[in-house]
Amino acid sequence: MPVGLQITPSILNADFAALGAEVARIPNADWVHVDVMDNHFVPNLTFGPTMVEALSRSTTLPLDAHLMIDDVDRCAADYVEAGAGSVTFHIEAAKAPIRLAREIRHAGARASMALKPATPIEPYEDLLPELDMILLMTVEPGFGGQRFLDLVLPKVRRAREAVERHGLETWVQVDGGVSLETIGRCAEAGADVFVAGSAVYSAADPDAMVVALRERAEEAVAGSGA
C-alpha cells in the first residue's frame, strides 16, 4: 500500500552528545536516518550497532540505518538486531547483495540498496524484487552539508520507471543536499523518501522544517501531475 511521501531526517549533523534529545525534536519525521560510517568505505567515522540500539530505545520513530561500511555482508544483520526497521547497504561494498537483502528481510527489517552518484542503476534492475527501497545518493557519501548533485536526477527518474515497469512498490530515497530548494526536483523525478540532514538540524525549528519539506515535495508532485 502506498504510504505517500516520507521525510527521514539524518542525525549526522545533530548534536552527538545529546542524540536522544535531538531525535525528540522531530516528532513529525517518518523515520530517523542513521548514517553508519567505518572510515574505510567513506573517510568518516560515526557509530555502530550499540548506538543504534540506544537510539531505538529512546524513540518510537523507526530507524533507517544507512550503512556506509566495507564489511556490510557480515555486519548488516547486527543493525536489524539493534532495532533498525530499514537497513541500507551500498552495492559498491556488498559482495553478495541478493543473499544480503534476503538476510536483512529474514531478520525482520526492510532491505535497501544504495548507489553512489556515479553508480548506474541499470545493471541492478533485476534485484529490485529483493528490495524494499533503493537509495540514490545525491552527494558523494561521507559528510553532511554538501551541495546537491543535480546530475543524479535522471537516474532517480530511471529508477522510478524501473520500479513501475516491474510492478513493484519499492521506495526511492534520495540522500544528500536535500533542502527546500532541491526537494521539489527530487519529488518530480520520482523520489518518495527524502533524507535531509543539515536542512533539518540547522533550522531554528527542525520539526517545522520536516513539515515544510514534506509540503514542498507534495506541491511538486501535484504540480508535475506525477
Positions marked active-site: 35, 175
- Rule CB under 5 A: which residues touch Zn ion? 35, 66, 175
Task: In angstroms, give the least distance from the CB of 154 to ligand DX5.
Answer: 20
Eight-class DSSP state of 82:
T
Interactions with ligand DX5, residue window 13-42 (CB under 6 A):
13, 33, 35
Q: Is 10 in the site for ligand DX5 (CB under 6 A)?
A: yes
Single residue of 91, 195, 203, 220 touching ligand DX5 by CB under 6 A? 195
Nearest alpha-carbon partner for 76 in 29, 128, 111, 50: 111
User: Residues near 149 by Cβ (< 8 Å), separated by ≥ 6?
Assistant: 117, 138, 139, 176, 177
> Is 12 exposed, middle or buried (CB count within 10 Å of its CB: 0-12, 13-18, 19+)?
buried
With respect to ligand DX5, which residue has the nearer C-beta, 125 or 142?
A: 142
Q: Is 177 in the site for ligand DX5 (CB under 6 A)?
A: yes
Residue 191 interaction partner, one of ligand DX5, Zn ion, none, beta carbon < 5-8 Å per kind: none
Beta-strand ranges (E) seen in the chain are 6-9, 32-37, 63-68, 86-90, 110-115, 133-137, 171-175, 193-196
With respect to ligand DX5, which residue has the nearer C-beta, 100 or 193?
A: 193
Q: Which residue ranges make up the site for ligand DX5 (CB under 6 A)?
A: 10, 12-13, 33, 35, 66, 139, 141-142, 144-146, 175-178, 195-199
